[in-house]
């Protein structure tokens, strides 16, 4: 049996576009002699649809689209993900994979394990299935396990049920695994262990089909695979790209020889994911051009490079907005970066606006010292100028805050936190430098001075980040323990960190939750990013 893996990029709620792409894939697969084509989880509506599932019209269009895709299945069968109403008790919907043949939906398989952790909230919408069914096709018995259904042992917890075990007991000879599995660093290796573990555990081959594309914060990398019953990968589709590829199933297993896919190292993976995330976000939103505030610092430099790679340098404009506290070197570094990349840049000094603001406020601020209010005023003036330009010409502002700053609140609401998308809000400062060195791996694009000078917001004379924060290697490790690994104060201290430093950092993180609540969408590249995957109370006592 010849099987096509259709790794496609869907747009959530764009039923016409999604079904058209699926029609084309079915037609292509049929012309290439395939017997079966497999699509990803919730393919007809896109994943994750979130609260669109609360609308009857959305569910109705989803059901109609599944019927329309089925009509195209003449001379070929398909497995496609969608939504089905639950006519019984429980949640109102099922997450399903439909087996389509002869122009009709022949079988409907419902998802059993519903992830409700990190970025997933499927129990909010779907009712879990309590049964499995094997589908007979071309002399084979096919078992369909939708996404989480194959992860019963591979989380921080263990599910009571094993859908694949039930499919094995029902006689399945092949596990078809439609999925919507978002990217983060280390996810590819994690998947490999899950697939190999299941194949070896049950002695069954597996076909995994994932989607690609970015949906604001979530980036889907594809990485669709075919795994034989020994747990060896015999086919692997590309990362961050649409593809349709084929595999042949013999009597009991795949005929292809094992392949060895070298996972990109961490800087390359993060760089590729972020560039792809920016590009697909702009494409799906209908945006063409980006702007950003270029300070001459490492964060804005890396975002400018990522945006130029994603959108083309001609579509990125840097705004240099020096104040009386900005160093000449930083301004020159920002100019040089734009020249290296081929970006336009515009000079908008803010000294006069800042002086006008302080003059307006002088009576209210009388008998006070220059401080955080005056520093933040500069950031907000810059945000005002950038957003005004965006409103006037439609260019989209990119936020340049990193994860370290987002964590401890070292950023200004309605100032440098402005933006429609945050490309590096899930990248700690230390790794921003690593990304910069990766960008410069073949030639100096980011001026060397940007990588070597002490980080500074340049909002007061002689200011350095280290005046307010521990050195970034220390800060980032404490943040990683607390945020990514969810370790508490006492456990972090056992790793050798000063208790007072830990207390200070944790207090900054906890007290800055209200800022992150108002942050732009952050491209997720770690296992615990700010946004939908980390829901903390705004009003709470952390101790």
C-alpha 408, offset from chain centre:
22
How many Cβ atoms from other residues are within 10 Å of residue 75's Cβ? 11
Kindly report the length of the chain: 543
- Concerning whether 147 is annotated as a catalytic residue, the answer is yes
Q: Which member of 21, 41, 98, 305 is catalytic?
A: 41
Sheet containing 316-320, strands listed edge to edge, beginning at the edge strand earlier in sequence = 344-347, 316-320, 290-293, 396-397
Contact 44, 82 (CB under 8 A): yes
Contacts of 167 (CB under 8 A, 6+ apart): 132, 134, 143, 144, 145, 175
**Cβ(195)–Cβ(206) under 8 Å?**
yes
Give me the DSSP letters along 102-139.
TTEEEEEEE------STT--GGGTBPPP----EEEETT
Tokens of 39: 């699509």
Q: Shortest CA distance to 401 belongs to which of 426, 383, 382?
A: 426
Known catalytic residue at 41? yes
15, 207, 212, 307 from 23: Cα distances, Å:
12, 21, 17, 33
Burial (0-12, 13-18, 19+ Cβ within 10 Å), 500: exposed
- Out of 98, 147, 305, 418, the active site residue is 147
- In Å, how far from its chain's centre is CA 19? 24
3-state DSSP percent of the chain in helix, strand and coil, to 5: 40, 20, 40
Candidates 21, 107, 111, 515; catalytic one: 111
Give the DSSP H/E element, type plus range, for residue 251. Answer: none
Residue 29 neighbours by CB under 8 Å, 6+ apart: 4, 6, 37, 76, 244, 246
Phi then psi for residue 195, to 5 deg, are: -65, -50
Which token pair is 260? 């060895």
For residues 129 and 166, the answer to whether their CB atoms sit within 8 Å is: no
Residues 6+ apart with CB under 8 A from 474: 497, 501
Active site members? 41, 111, 147
């Amino acid at each position: 049996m010849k099987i096509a893996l259709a790794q496609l990029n869907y747009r959530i709620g764009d039923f016409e576009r999604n079904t058209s792409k699926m029609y084309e894939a079915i037609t292509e697969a049929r012309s290439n002699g395939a017997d079966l084509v497999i699509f990803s989880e919730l393919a007809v509506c896109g994943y994750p649809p979130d609260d669109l599932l609360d609308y009857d019209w959305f569910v109705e269009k989803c059901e109609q689209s599944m019927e329309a895709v089925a009509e195209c299945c003449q001379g070929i069968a398909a497995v496609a993900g969608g939504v089905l109403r639950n006519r019984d008790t429980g949640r109102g919907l099922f997450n399903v994979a439909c087996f389509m043949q002869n122009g009709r939906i022949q079988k409907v398989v419902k998802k059993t394990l519903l992830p409700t952790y990190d970025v997933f909230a499927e129990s909010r919408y779907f009712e879990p299935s309590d049964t499995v069914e094997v589908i007979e096709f071309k002399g084979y018995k096919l078992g369909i396990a939708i996404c989480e259904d194959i992860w019963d042992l591979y989380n921080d917890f263990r599910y009571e049920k094993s859908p694949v075990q039930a499919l094995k007991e029902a006689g399945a000879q092949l596990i078809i695994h439609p999925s919507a599995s978002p990217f983060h660093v280390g996810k590819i290796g994690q998947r490999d262990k899950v697939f190999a573990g299941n194949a070896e555990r049950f002695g069954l081959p597996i076909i995994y089909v994932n989607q690609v594309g970015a949906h604001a914060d979530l980036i889907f990398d594809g990485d669709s695979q075919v795994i034989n019953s020994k747990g060896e990968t015999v086919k692997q589709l590309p990362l961050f790209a649409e593809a349709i590829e084929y595999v042949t199933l013999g009597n009991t297993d795949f005929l292809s020889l094992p392949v060895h896919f070298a996972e990109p190292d961490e800087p390359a993976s993060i760089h590729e994911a972020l560039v792809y995330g920016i590009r697909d976000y702009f494409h799906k939103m209908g945006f063409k051009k980006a702007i950003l505030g270029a300070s001459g610092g490492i964060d804005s430099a890396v975002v400018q490079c990522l945006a130029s790679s994603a959108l083309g340098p001609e579509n990125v404009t840097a705004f240099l907005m020096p104040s009386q506290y900005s160093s000449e070197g930083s301004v020159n570094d920002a100019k040089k970066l734009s020249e290296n990349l081929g970006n336009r840049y515009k000079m908008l000094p803010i000294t006069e606006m800042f002086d006008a603001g302080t003059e307006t406020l002088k009576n209210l601020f009388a008998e006070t010292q220059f401080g955080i209010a005056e520093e933040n005023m500069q950031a907000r003036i810059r945000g005002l100028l950038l957003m005004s330009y965006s409103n006037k010409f439609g260019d989209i502002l990119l936020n340049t805050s990193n994860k370290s700053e987002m964590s401890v609140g070292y950023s200004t609401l309605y100032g440098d936190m402005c933006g429609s998308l945050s490309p590096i809000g899930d990248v700690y400062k230390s790794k921003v430098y690593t990304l910069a060195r990766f960008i410069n791996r073949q030639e100096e694009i980011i001026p060397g001075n940007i990588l070597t000078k002490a980080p500074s917001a340049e909002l007061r004379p002689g200011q350095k980040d280290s005046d307010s924060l521990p050195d970034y290697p220390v800060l980032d490790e404490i943040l990683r323990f607390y945020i990514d690994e969810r370790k508490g104060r006492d456990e972090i201290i056992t790793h050798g960190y000063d208790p007072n430093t830990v207390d200070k950092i944790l207090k900054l993180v906890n007290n800055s939750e209200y800022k992150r609540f108002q942050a732009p969408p952050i491209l997720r590249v770690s296992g615990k990013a700010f946004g939908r995957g980390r829901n903390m109370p705004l009003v709470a006592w952390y101790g």
